[in-house]
């Protein structure tokens, strides 16, 4: 029985990337065209179809897009071939629809899986505060501490001066003071319009030049990020941060503790978890979809939580053959 389970784990980790590849190829057709909804709709449809070949009994716990009134894989939808292990599923067919539509960096197609009942469901929460660092600084961060204090502790843990720290922050009006405070503390700020899943993975990866991610971003994206870094020893601390009174009331009405600090192990409570991402537009984490004649070239990563193994996969897709085999126009 254990051997069968291990084989199933391996197959899920390796096969899941096909789902994100399909979504990325479909969304990339709308790169730079100024139509966020069309890019998202194409990715959602491609992802739904690709899920049919994955041997899981999946239930969508987190379907991204609702806050933007975009088409989505809805919460409660059943995905997968209908056999294999029961899994909670979090999807973000396009993390960064604006990036795709207007030609910015760091847009990804993303999927996370966890054993049934082991994935935090944020319900009506769209936004949360986040603080992400790699394994070497996982034990020193405090989401309630001033940013300067966290920077000093992280720098010490990493054996470098604060002046050499690079901090990933989304370029949003809500972060103007945070960015000033980071710079006043002496650290460097890397800003992006979108892409805090990519930012979280970069902050957790010891090979990356990013030392930390901080700020308020999407709650669904936080869950997906935890799937990605679960096996790495990195840490993400979060607290729900509603951006409207309507969102705050909905969270309270849903019975969710709005003030709780949740780490990776609170958000994903099992090591039976998996993550896959494929680049749609160019980024520091993954290359975007590129075209070589009849081929679409994708760059992806897949992660297995139990082992922490990360695989980077480049694939060449014959778009004419794929379009003949599927209802999707690649």
74 is in an annotated binding site: no
How far apart are the C-alpha atoms of 192 and 74, rounded to whole Å?
Answer: 28
215 is in an annotated binding site: no
174 is in an annotated binding site: yes
246 is in an annotated binding site: no
196 is in an annotated binding site: yes
Q: What angle do CA 33, 276, 209 make, to 5 degrees?
A: 85
> Which neighbouring-strand residues pair with 275?
112, 303
257 is in an annotated binding site: no
- And the tokens for 149? 């204090």
172 is in an annotated binding site: yes
Residue of 34, 59, 216, 62 whose CA lies nearest to 130: 216
> Which neighbouring-strand residues pair with 95?
108
> Which neighbouring-strand residues pair with 214?
131
Q: Is 318 exposed, middle or buried (0-12, 13-18, 19+ CB in 10 A)?
A: middle
92 is in an annotated binding site: yes
Strand (E) or helix (H) holding 259 = none
96 is in an annotated binding site: yes
Contacts of 161 (CB under 8 A, 6+ apart): 155, 186
259 is in an annotated binding site: no
95 is in an annotated binding site: yes
Annotated binding site for Mn(2+): 40, 64, 92, 95, 221
Annotated binding site for substrate: 95-97, 127, 172-174, 194-196, 218
Annotated binding site: 40, 64, 92, 95-97, 127, 172-174, 194-196, 218, 221
């Amino acid at each position: 029985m254990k051997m069968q389970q291990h084989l199933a784990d391996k197959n899920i980790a390796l096969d899941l990337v096909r789902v994100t590849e399909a979504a990325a190829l479909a969304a990339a057709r709308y790169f730079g065209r100024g139509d966020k909804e069309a890019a998202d709709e194409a990715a959602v449809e491609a992802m739904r179809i690709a899920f049919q070949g994955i041997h899981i009994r999946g239930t969508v716990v987190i379907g991204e897009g609702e806050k933007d009134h975009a088409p989505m894989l809805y919460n409660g939808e059943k995905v997968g071939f209908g056999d294999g292990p029961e899994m909670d599923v979090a999807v973000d067919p396009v993390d960064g629809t604006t990036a795709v539509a207007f030609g910015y960096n760091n847009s990804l197609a993303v999927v996370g899986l966890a054993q049934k009942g082991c994935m935090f469901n944020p319900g009506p929460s769209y936004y949360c505060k986040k603080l992400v660092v790699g394994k070497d600084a996982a034990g020193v961060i405090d989401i309630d501490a001033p940013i300067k204090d966290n920077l000093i502790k992280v720098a010490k843990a990493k054996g470098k001066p604060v002046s050499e720290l690079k901090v990933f922050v989304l370029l949003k009006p809500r972060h103007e003071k945070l960015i000033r405070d980071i710079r006043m503390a002496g650290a460097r700020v890397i800003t992006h319009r979108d892409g805090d899943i990519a930012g979280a993975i970069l902050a957790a990866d010891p090979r990356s030049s990013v030392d930390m991610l901080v700020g308020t971003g999407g709650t669904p994206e936080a869950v997906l990020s935890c799937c990605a870094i679960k096996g790495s020893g990195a840490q993400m601390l979060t607290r729900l941060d509603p951006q409207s009174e309507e969102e705050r009331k909905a969270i309270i009405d849903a019975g969710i503790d709005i003030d709780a600090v949740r780490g990776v192990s609170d958000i994903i409570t099992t090591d039976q978890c998996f993550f896959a991402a494929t680049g749609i537009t160019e980024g520091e984490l993954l290359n975007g979809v590129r075209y070589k004649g009849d081929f679409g070239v994708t760059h992806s990563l897949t992660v297995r939580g139990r082992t922490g193994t990360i695989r980077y996969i480049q694939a060449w897709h014959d778009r004419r053959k794929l379009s003949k085999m599927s209802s999707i126009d690649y």
